[in-house]
Amino acid sequence: MSLYKRKDSPNWWVKLPPIPGEGGKPLQISTGTASKRDAQAFHDRLKVERWEQARLGVKPRRKWEDAVAKFLEETSHKRTHKQDQAMLAWLTPELGGKWLDEIDRAQIDRIKAKRARIASKARANRYLALLRSILRKACHEWEWIDHIPKMTLFRENNGRIRALTREEFWRLHRELPPHLADMALFAVSTGLRAANVRLLQWAWVDMPRRHMRIPADQFKNGEAHGVPLNQTAMDILNRRDGLNAKYVFTFNAKPVEQISTRAWRAALARAGIEDFHWHDLRHTWATWQRQAGTPTHELQRLGGWKSLVMVERYAHVAPEGLRVAADRLDNVLGYTAAT
C-alpha cells in the first residue's frame, strides 16, 4: 500500500518505488498531514513529479533547507564553518520552506535591505555572499536549478579607517562591563581580530616567553600566527588566569558567544562614541602602532597580513617616518639655499 499509517506518527506516510539515481531503495516520506484526503493529494502530486523525473528527465524541486544541509555537509572542513552556520541561522527563517527556483531578485533585495538595517553594509555583504555561494552550487555543481537571480552587493569603502584616540578609548573602557573591558584592552594591545580574542585558549599562550600562537585553522589568513605579548597584554592574562581552565575570556564561566552586544552598544552610547564597531579596535591598534613609529614590514608581521596593501592604509597616520627618509637626501645633495 503506497499510503499508510505508522504507529510513531499521527500523519499519513507515502511509500513509492525507487526511480533511477536513488540506489534501488523505495522512497518513504511523511505527508505532513493527518487528513487522508490531503495525504492522498500529496501522494498523487509526488507520484506525478517522480514519473516526470524518471521518464522525462524533469529535475525534482529542492527547497532552501535541502541546499543548506548539503552546503554545510560539503563545507564542514572550512575554517569559517561556524560563522556560516550562524549566518544561515538568520537566513533560513527568511527563506525557509521556499523552493530554490522560487527565490528571486525581489526576495534577495528584501534580505539585503533588512541586513543593512541591522548592521553595516559590509556585514550585509557577508550574508549575501553566502547566499550567492549556495545558489551557485545549487545551479552549477548540483544542477538542482537552471539559473540563479542576479545579485548585487553593497559597495564597500575599503579605505575606511575608524580609530579611537587614547582619550576616547579609555572613556569607552570605563563604560564597558569587566569582561568586555579586558577583551577590548587586549584587542588594542595585540591587534587580534574579534574571534581570536573571543575564543582565545590558554593552550595557545606561553606566559614565561610572553608569547602566544594562534593555530592556522583559527586565523583568517590560514596560517599560524605568533603574537608577542606586551606588558598590558600580560597584565590582562595574569588577571584572567584561573577563571577558566580552557578559555582566557569568559562570561558567567562560559566562552563569550557575542561581543557586539547590547552592553557594547550601550557603553558606546554612554561614552559618546559613534560609528564604531568592534573590528575598529584592530584599526585603532594599527593606527597607534604607526604613530609610535612601527615600520610597515613590522606592522605587517604583527598583524598577520599576507599583503602590504592592507598595511599601507595606515601610512598616512604617521608621515613623519617618510619625511625623515626624504630628508636623508639633503646630506647627499649637499644643497644650500641661496642667501
Nearest Cα residue to 303 out of 160, 165, 166, 188: 188
Catalytic annotation, residues: 193, 220, 279, 282, 305, 314
Tell me how many degrees the CA angle 171-227-234 measures, rounded to the nearest 5: 55
Write out the three cell numbers for 267.
Answer: 557603553
Write out the three cell numbers for 314.
Answer: 595606515
Chain centroid, CA 323 distance in Å: 39
- 646630506: which residue's cell? 331
Q: Report yes or no: 57 and 44 within 8 Å, Cβ to Cβ.
A: no
Q: Report yes or no: 45 and 76 within 8 Å, Cβ to Cβ.
A: no
Query: How far is the C-alpha of 277 from the C-alpha of 275, rounded, in Å?
Result: 7
Query: How far is the C-alpha of 191 from the C-alpha of 284, rounded, in Å?
Result: 8
Bridge partners, 28 (sequence order): 15
4-10: Cβ within 8 A, 24+ apart: 10/34
Nearest Cα residue to 287 out of 301, 303, 274, 268: 303
Q: What is the DSSP string of 277-312?
A: -TTHHHHHHHHHHHHTT--HHHHHHHHT-SSHHHHG
Q: Report yes or no: 189 and 233 within 8 Å, Cβ to Cβ.
A: yes
* Distances in whole angstroms, Cα of residue 41 to Cα of each of 15, 31, 52, 127: 14, 9, 17, 37
Q: Report yes or no: 229 and 212 within 8 Å, Cβ to Cβ.
A: yes
Q: Report yes or no: 9 and 34 within 8 Å, Cβ to Cβ.
A: no
Q: Give me the phi and psi of 205, to 5 degrees please.
A: -105, 130
